[in-house]
Amino acid sequence: MMPFIIKNLPILIVITPLMFSLIVAVLNNNRLAWTFSTFASFLTMIFTILLCFEVSYKSNISYYLGNWPPPLGIEYVIDRISIIPIMIVSVIGLIATLFAHNFFTLEIDEKLVSKTYSLWLLTIAGLIGLITTADAFNLFVFLEISSLSAVALVALGSKVDRKALVAGYNYLILGAVGATFYVIGVGLLYGVTGTLNMGDLAQKIPALGLNKSVIVAFTFMMLGIMVKAAVFPLHIWLPNAYAYAPSPVSVLLAATSTKVSIYIIVRISYTIFGSSYEIYSFESLRYILLYLAILAMFAGTIMAIFEKDVKKLLAHSSVAQIGYIVLGISLATSTGIASSFIHLINHALIKAGLFMSIVAMGYYTLKRIDVKTIAGLGRQLPITFFSFVICALSLAGLPLTVGFISKLYLIKAAYISEGIWLPFLILVSSALSLIYIWKLIEGLWYNEKSLKIEKIKELPEIYLPLLVIAFLNIYFGVDASLIIDNSFIASDALMSGIK
């Protein structure tokens, strides 16, 4: 049994949530559906952990789906790079599933809850599939699976606020445009190389030299994924989608979906086109990404400062944080990419915690969570407030939290490659971010109560996920070596692919 599992781990992490999503869809009992989903995501995480051990001494696992060798068959590759986003998705997936139950019961029609869990698991399966696959077209399939199920999940927020339908629609249209762009690029590449396998593509592209189709393909693919990754200014779908989605969906999407897309950006530019790095050198794209990232940092932060709706505020802050991650990639140095990976992990921990604690506060209003409606809640919800403050300070980059580690390495990387001006811009924007973080903490800390609810009690069910995420934010802020070392291993592995 065990060798079989070990051998098939790369597919098991995808197939487990996929299969369970089918089972969950036909269940009538909501609690049972939740239990099954929790079990599925728990199993996925166990498999991921096993895979981690496997990868740490094999360094590269190649898995042929149905034993069909590439380029004909579909190949799954797990290496020191892809294990990072897989870990993010499965850990956050489990925490978010644990957290989801109360909120789905409250915010979604009772009949739809089990279907919601089905979509939920489908999203997780799609995201993990996106990371593992080494086939450019298969990637498109997973892109659609994860996007469409995520769109449906966002639209389910319509019981609370009808605007969720519009938000979901926008997400659908822009997501479809992005996916189409991507598939156009893949089509062009297939036309000139005759292969879809990423490793194969990487080998064949250099021979084509400055072929126009390849250049156009590269552009299309990158643009398509940049929409998905919400790189400024292609982020407009994101704030509304995060804000109007049902609470647990905001948590899952904010922490995982854009991270996975950013990983794909890295894969496309370094793995597929990395072998002809000189020709498609990042140099031109690099500066575009760099300036977009700087714009994102400031635009996202400033939008967040003026935003009153807390979930939207956090979404705008995500846009800014994606800016930091993209900035690290755009430096195109080993330290730069490593700092991106560090922030990729850390930001997932931070944003998951922030969204969880904020929506937990919104549980009592069932309305939009305004800066004013949460006023004074800190005292009544001490555990929620505690984990909120930890994650918020982590977002601000306070030492002893993960946010500080990210900032430290990002600034070091920026200083080494660009000199003092870039760190200065990063730090100014992160100082600005204190304004909106402080607005939230202050609102919770002071006494002006605006909610007229007599008895507010915390839900003991959500203590576990909240405290776990707060703990992780602090633990990896002190013992950061695990994250730092693995990020550097990943970035070195990526850079070694460049000739």
Partner 1 sequence: MANEFYIYLSILTPLIAFFITPLLSSNPNLRDSLGPIGGLITFYSSINIASLYLDGEVLSFTFFQISETLSISFKITGLGVIFGLVASGLWILASIYTIGYMRGNKEKNQTRFFTFYSIAIFAAICIAYSGNLLTLFIFYEVLTFSTYPLVAHKQNEEAKKAGRIYMGILVGTSIVFLLPAIIIVWVLTGSLDFSTNGILKGNIPNEYVTFLLALFAFGIGKAALMPFHKWLPAAMVAPTPVSALLHAVAVVKAGVFSMLVVITYVFGIDFLTETNGAVWLIWISSITLLLSSCIAITKDDLKARLAYSTISQLSYIVLGGAIATNIAVQGASIHIVMHAVGKITLFFAAGAIYVATHLSKISDLNGMGKSMPLTFVAFFIGSLSIIGVPPMGGSWSKFYLMLGSVEKDYLLVIYILAISTLLNVYYLLEIPAKAFFQQKRTNIQVTKHPLTVYPTFFAAILTIILFIYIEPLKDITNLIFGN
Nearer to partner 1, 30 or 430 (CB): 430
- Pick one of 185, 224, 397, 403: the residue that binds partner 1 (CB under 8 A): 397
* 407 touches partner 1 (CB under 8 A): yes
CB of 292 to partner 1, least distance (A): 23
* 405 touches partner 1 (CB under 8 A): yes
Q: Which of 152-160, 259-267, 363-371, 398-406 is the region at the interface with partner 1 (rule: CB under 8 A)?
A: 398-406
- Tell me which DSSP letter residue 455 carries: -
* 137 touches partner 1 (CB under 8 A): no
Q: Which 3-state string (H, E, C) describes the chain?
A: CHHHHHHCHHHHHHHHHHHHHHHHHCCCCHHHHHHHHHHHHHHHHHHHHHHHHHHHHHCEEEEEHHHCCCCCCCEEEEECCCHHHHHHHHHHHHHHHHHHHHHHHHHCCHHHHHHHHHHHHHHHHHHHHHHHECEHHHHHHHHHHHHHHHHHHHHHHHHCCCHHHHHHHHHHHHHHHHHHHHHHHHHHHHHHHCCCEHHHHHHHHHHHCCCHHHHHHHHHHHHHHHHHCCCCCCCCHHHHHHHHCCHHHHHHHHHHHHHHHHHHHHHHHHHHCHHHCCCCCHHHHHHHHHHHHHHHHHHHHHHHHHCCEHHHHHHHHHHHHHHHHHHHHHCCCHHHHHHHHHHHHHHHHHHHHHHHHHHHHHCCCCCCCECCCCCCHHHHCHHHHHHHHHHHHHHHCCCCCHHHHHHHHHHHHHHHHHCCHHHHHHHHHHHHHHHHHHHHHHHHHCCCCCCCCCCCCCCHHHHHHHHHHHHHHHHHHHCCHHHHHHHHHHHHHHHHCCC
- Pick one of 196, 222, 411, 440: the residue that binds partner 1 (CB under 8 A): 411
Nearer to partner 1, 68 or 424 (CB): 424
CB of 484 to partner 1, least distance (A): 5
- Pick one of 177, 408, 474, 493: the residue that binds partner 1 (CB under 8 A): 408
CB of 431 to partner 1, least distance (A): 5
For the segment 445-474, give every residue that binds partner 1 (CB under 8 A).
445-447
- Pick one of 434, 440, 444, 490: the residue that binds partner 1 (CB under 8 A): 434
- Pick one of 185, 362, 423, 465: the residue that binds partner 1 (CB under 8 A): 423
* 482 touches partner 1 (CB under 8 A): no
- Pick one of 43, 333, 412, 495: the residue that binds partner 1 (CB under 8 A): 412
* 415 touches partner 1 (CB under 8 A): yes
- Pick one of 442, 449, 450, 496: the residue that binds partner 1 (CB under 8 A): 442
CB of 434 to partner 1, least distance (A): 6
CB of 398 to partner 1, least distance (A): 6
Q: Which of 45-53, 225-233, 352-360, 399-407 is the region at the interface with partner 1 (rule: CB under 8 A)?
A: 399-407
Q: Which of 49-57, 269-277, 400-408, 459-467 is the region at the interface with partner 1 (rule: CB under 8 A)?
A: 400-408
* 166 touches partner 1 (CB under 8 A): no
* 481 touches partner 1 (CB under 8 A): yes
Binding residues for partner 1, per CB under 8 A? 393, 396-400, 404-405, 407-408, 411-412, 415-416, 420, 423-424, 427-428, 430-431, 434, 438, 442, 445-447, 478-481, 484-485
